[in-house]
Amino acid sequence: MEKVYARWGYGSARFLGQGMEGVVHRLPGGWVGKAWFERTPEQVQDLAVFYHELAEQDLPFATPRMVAVHEYRKQAVSIEQELAGTSLGALVEAARLSTAAAHRVVVQVVAALGRTTAGPATRALPVLGEKGALRWDGHTWGKDMAALVERRTTQFWAVLERAVPNLEEVVAAVLSLLAQVDSPSPEQVVHGDICPGNILVDGAGRPTAVLDRGFCTTAGDAAFDAATAAGFFDMYGPRAGEHDRALTGVMVDELGQDRERMLLYRAVYALVSANVYSPTGEDGHFAWCVATFERQDVRTLLGLG
């Protein structure tokens, strides 16, 4: 990719990593370049408009800002300012930050996003690689999320049915509960993927930036981030359940989130994202999502005993 970036005068590029949506390189002068896998230049430009809208939210941490969107052989390439800080995930993995301190960072990020007000650029974003925006004018948050559940489960029904017992009853119960969910006023900016790897912190363990918006970002209920962040902190480790319970408790006790609403959103996320990495359900993320419906608290909420 070095020749690609050099074409626009950004000099040499150093590989930083690869995510779900693209390959990221560090460029000279404090810039970061991202070559997008699926998004068109027009879609990336829409994301750039969203970034600008987000920057006006007066958040206590930095967020991405695109300064240019280019096209190279029909592939979108964006240039962003590099954000300062160290990955919270790396610090947790290296045991350089206590569990309590790391939990506090996640809660601070969720709380800050809960004070945002989503605008038209946020509402216009697609999620999970879909072509059109998730949100529709005149629709409630619950109605649009129900439509997403219906689309995703229909698309992957055969795979999900083999792994989730009584899938028809599960989906029906989730849709019934979503029908009772109205839109918050105002709607908040929902990140959709608040995990330690997407949070940067300073030397004192304070959040300096939040990354990777766009994969599941939309306008809606901040409780969705509270619910999913609790589960994302440690998805596969031996203490995953412990972290999940502790963070869920803090979200309820300190942020005033409703526990049952959070459980509903965990079920929603499990259904809509189960096949996002593997259409055939042959990866750890699929197994993690399926395990959601083995939880007694989720089963009780859905009336499954």
pLDDT averaged per 10 residues in sequence order, the chain, 305 residues = 77 84 90 90 92 95 94 90 94 93 98 97 94 95 98 98 98 98 97 96 95 87 98 97 98 98 98 97 97 98 93
268 in Cβ contact with 228 (< 8 Å): no
pLDDT at 101: 96
